[in-house]
Amino acid sequence: MYTLLSGLYKYVFQKDEYCVLILGLDNAGKTTFLEQTKTKFSRNYKGMNLSKITTTVGLNIGTIDVGKARLMFWDLGGQEELQSLWDKYYAESHGVIYVIDSTDEERLSESKNAFEKMISSEVLEGVPLLVLANKQDVETTECASLLQCFTPLISPLSIHPSSSSSSTMDSTVSAYSEKLREMSVLSLLCSCLYSQPHPNTFGQFEDMEVKSLDKRASGQAFEVILKSPTDPSPERPQTLALPPQKKEPSLGELQRRLEAAEERRKSQEKQVLKQLAEKREREKEVLTKAQEVNNNYSKMTEEKLHHKMELIQENRMARLNALKQRLREKELHAAEVRKNKELHTELSG
């Protein structure tokens, strides 16, 4: 009972946090979708210039609040050499958004292969998956080729695809967030209230119908039937299994998590070392420039001092020469006076 009350309290008063992966090929528009989503759902976020968005190397992280849910998006790089890192994040994700470039018909088969490899992972079993056909507002959209390529993979999974453009982004993200919250609450109610046998149909929840499955050794299991958002009638139900109950991870799973953590640590360490190296380079450039400025100042000061000393020496020599000239003139005048005096003495004698 305490678990139920605690869960209901958190549901009403606290924001549930969900980690959602954004996957897809490079240039499919994953980062643009994330930036547009943050711009629309975050009041104080101005967003970056979309023309400056480049191919993602590593991952981009964004957080938004939608109603009572908080979604943390992990936008992973889609290059072929980076797709091997996708499965390192599966265990920590609550949902996956797979983005397809509906204007690039040449790479649809490549996107299909990456999607098929992704859904074959056992770690993603029961995780909500949204297939997003991006760039629907472009005239060269290849909807027919896209449906023909992905329908064989989507149909067995009972996944409802969605299209994305600037006008449909709000409804897409809001609906996906609401589904994550509804599944979380249904899992809590089913595990706490119905541990004993109960009717096959649990009940109706807005556009969902919950039915019980045969009880397993790990506990009671339920099936969630989602009605199509465009057709409220339950004639074409779409089923989505609830996430399995939490169990102790196996040694292989622990090893994978440790490897993922080690790779993230190495990546962060590499980024830190790169930043330190760049900082040292900048400091070296600043020091070199300061030393160059100091040398230029010292040289200029020395030249000015030398020039000033030359001027002082020239003035000193000029004054000495003038003084000598005056002394010679005085000596000549004194000699002439003595000569005149002697001549006067001789004449008077």
CA–CA gap between residue 67 and residue 65 (Å, rounded): 6
**Which listed residue (79, 148, 245, 291) is catalytic?**
79
3 state SS of 202 = strand
CA–CA gap between residue 71 and residue 33 (Å, rounded): 14
DSSP secondary structure of 276-305? HHHHHHHHHHHHHHHHHHHHHHHHHHHHHH
Binding residues: 24-31, 56, 78, 134-137
CA–CA gap between residue 317 and residue 349 (Å, rounded): 48
CA–CA gap between residue 136 and residue 171 (Å, rounded): 15
**Strand 95-101 to strand 16-23: parallel, antiparallel, or no bridges (unpaired)?**
parallel
3 state SS of 178 = helix
Annotated active-site residue 245? The verdict is no
Residue with structure tokens 């809590």? 188
CA–CA gap between residue 95 and residue 83 (Å, rounded): 17
Binding residues for GTP: 24-31, 78, 134-137
3 state SS of 143 = helix
CA–CA gap between residue 327 and residue 301 (Å, rounded): 39
CA–CA gap between residue 140 and residue 217 (Å, rounded): 52
Binding residues for Mg(2+): 31, 56
CA–CA gap between residue 83 and residue 67 (Å, rounded): 32
CA–CA gap between residue 150 and residue 132 (Å, rounded): 11
- Active-site positions? 79
